[in-house]
């Protein structure tokens, strides 16, 4: 396991270095996917290609689920699966040149084993798993206090908030404040570090796989918006929180 952890961290650091360099060279080519707000760049694609190459060299038998280039569907989750998002928060990457991250989650027979979330520009690398604990760079992360919803900040997806999906507005009202960062990985890092009590969004597996392993390892809860297990297959309304905030959010969601 330690070898795999070191390898994954090395790939992601290398990918981060390349991303930083490509930001400086300003050779970004942006194109759209499903709509004008669904962006992908040549750098997302290069980064995913690089990570896939490393994974295949390291473990030729592993499956790979990733956001770009036709890797976004699997038959099943048996065996070892690497779930990767080469750049989570591509919109921020393009427009802000920060507030994005690289993510890799390692699943074994459908169970999250390891998670890696790298906030490239701030050099905050969160990684770990249930059996080894969670680390920020080299430092062990303590489990955050189990705050209630009204004691902390809540990350919410803009359109779910606007449309009041699953009572998202009431969740936001109950919280001390609503935050929207445009990057699922950063929201989940913030939960792991205790600066968010929860997060509600519409996510694909690569958006929550890595961060989800980390927050669960720290005693937090996540599920789809109805409290059912995430399918790790296609987009779902996602909900996560400290144990207490999560229960309140689920209660509000069920009242919707």
> Which parts of this chain interact with a copy of itself (CB under 8 A)?
36-37, 91-92, 95-98, 150, 152-153, 158, 161-162, 169, 172, 176-182, 190, 195
Burial 71-88 (b: 16+ CB within 10 A, else e): beeeeebeebbbbbbbbb
Query: Least CB distance from residue 46 to a copy of itself, whole Å?
Result: 23
For 41-63, give the DSSP string.
EHHHHHHHHHHHHHHHHH-TT-E
Query: Least CB distance from residue 217 to a copy of itself, whole Å?
Result: 21
**DSSP-derived 3-state class of residue 8:** helix
Greatest Cα-to-Cα distance within the chain, rounded to the nearest angstrom: 51
Q: Which is nearer to a copy of itself, 114 or 160 (CB)?
A: 160
Q: Which is nearer to a copy of itself, 112 or 182 (CB)?
A: 182
Q: Which residues contact 157 (CB under 8 A, 6 or more apart)?
A: 168, 180, 200, 201, 202
Query: Least CB distance from residue 210 to a copy of itself, whole Å?
Result: 21
Q: Which is nearer to a copy of itself, 67 or 106 (CB)?
A: 67
Query: Least CB distance from residue 156 to a copy of itself, whole Å?
Result: 9
Nearest to 154 by CA among 252, 35, 68: 252
Q: Which is nearer to a copy of itself, 130 or 179 (CB)?
A: 179
CB 165 within 8 A of CB 69: no
Query: Least CB distance from residue 23 to a copy of itself, whole Å?
Result: 13
Q: Which residues contact 120 (CB under 8 A, 6 or more apart)?
A: 16, 19, 20, 100, 101, 102
Query: Least CB distance from residue 10 to a copy of itself, whole Å?
Result: 27
Q: Which is nearer to a copy of itself, 153 or 210 (CB)?
A: 153
Q: Which is nearer to a copy of itself, 89 or 205 (CB)?
A: 89
């Amino acid at each position: 396991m330690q070898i795999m952890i070191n390898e994954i961290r090395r790939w992601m650091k290398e990918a981060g270095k390349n991303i930083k360099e490509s930001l400086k060279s300003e050779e970004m080519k942006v194109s759209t996917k499903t709509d004008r707000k669904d962006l992908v760049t040549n750098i997302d694609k290069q980064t995913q290609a690089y990570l896939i190459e490393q994974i295949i060299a390291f473990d030729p038998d592993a499956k790979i689920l990733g956001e770009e280039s036709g890797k976004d569907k699997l038959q099943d989750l048996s065996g070892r699966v690497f779930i990767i998002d080469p750049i989570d928060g591509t919109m921020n990457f393009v427009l802000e040149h920060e507030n994005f991250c690289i993510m890799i989650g390692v699943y074994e027979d459908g169970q999250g084993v390891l998670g890696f979330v790298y906030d490239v520009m701030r050099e905050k690398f969160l990684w770990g798993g249930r059996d080894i604990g969670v680390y920020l760079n080299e430092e062990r992360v303590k489990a955050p206090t189990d705050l209630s919803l009204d004691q902390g900040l809540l990350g919410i997806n803009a359109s779910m908030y606007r449309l009041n999906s699953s009572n998202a507005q009431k969740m936001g009202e109950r919280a001390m404040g609503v935050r929207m960062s445009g990057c699922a990985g950063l929201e989940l890092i913030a939960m792991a570090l205790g600066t968010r009590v929860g997060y509600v969004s519409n996510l694909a597996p690569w958006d929550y796989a890595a961060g989800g392993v980390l927050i669960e390892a720290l005693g937090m809860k996540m599920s789809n918006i109805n409290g059912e297990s995430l399918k790790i297959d296609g987009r779902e309304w996602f909900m996560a929180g400290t144990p207490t905030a999560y229960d309140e959010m689920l209660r509000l969601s069920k009242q919707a």
